[in-house]
Amino acid sequence: MHKFIIAGLSGLLLAGCQTDKMTADDTSDVSVLAPTLTGEACPDMSGGGYLFWLDPPSKEVGDKLQLTPYFSTHPGAFEPLPSGCIGNMSSTPEDALTFERSEYGDVYAIITEKAEPGSRVILTADYGAENSITAPISIYDPASNPLVGVWAQQNDGQCADNTVIRELSFSGDGRFSVTWTPFESYKDYWGSYDFDSETNELTLSPERGNYIPEDVQSGVIQLEGDLLTPEDGMSFGSTRNGLACSAPFKRR
């Protein structure tokens, strides 16, 4: 019986070297879906959870992700585990992902055209004999949503350091978060957003958080390459001391 661990709670995606790979369509004796390691090579951990990443990564059709399993007992502590212990990979919707395995046992997931922009694909894989990892992936189209990614406010000298938003994150499935001082998995507040690429209107809907400012204001932004500038009236809110910074953001 498998123990299911949800792994969708920022992107621990590790780039792997290019090697000979098997795909899920291979007719070789060893299936890409079968683990290359078993038994004592796949330690059964306790007192925490198995995961691939904390926050769902945002990916577009054709992107490839290396699936590295981790075990975590608390935020900020991640112990990497052998990729060869991963097996029986699948996705919801079905066929939204295909899989490859390198000669070293490393597993890769490839986003297919079955994955719809603006949605989440759910990846499921077995780890060892008794554990399963379930991890969401946010799908987006960069042409219609150029906001996706992580941004940091650039202090133009007119803002106090403690008013600068150091992490503004937009995901491909319409989620966002704002953090003045990032620490491990801490975020100040989060919610949903909608962006009209024709009018540059950004609508923010804060939902939950450790601190939600009362003066968050939707409005127009300007996008020029990797620079995001709030127009007059648009605001991600003030800090606890009531001060806000209106400086532009740069994509990280």
Buried b (16+ CB within 10 A) or exposed e, 57-76: bbbbbeeebbbbbbbbeeee
For 230-251, the pLDDT digits (tens) are: 999 999 999 999 999 999 999 9
Cα gap 125→4, rounded to integer Å = 10
Range list for CATH 2.40.128 in the chain: 149-251
The pLDDT-based confidence of 21 (bands split at 50, 70, 90) is low
Q: What angle do CA 139, 112, 133 make, to 5 degrees?
A: 70
Strand partners, 64: 110
Cα gap 177→132, rounded to integer Å = 28
Range list for CATH 2.60.40 in the chain: 3-139
**CATH, range 149-251:** 2.40.128
For 158-186, the pLDDT digits (tens) are: 899 999 999 999 999 999 999 999 998 89
CB atoms within 10 A of CB 87: 21
Cα gap 236→230, rounded to integer Å = 9
Class of domain 3-139: mainly beta
Is pTM beyond 0.85 here? no
**Main-chain dihedrals φ then ψ at residue 129, nearest 5 degrees:** -90, -25
Laid out side by side, the sheet with 70-74 consists of: 49-51, 70-74, 77-80
Cα gap 105→82, rounded to integer Å = 9
Cα gap 109→102, rounded to integer Å = 12
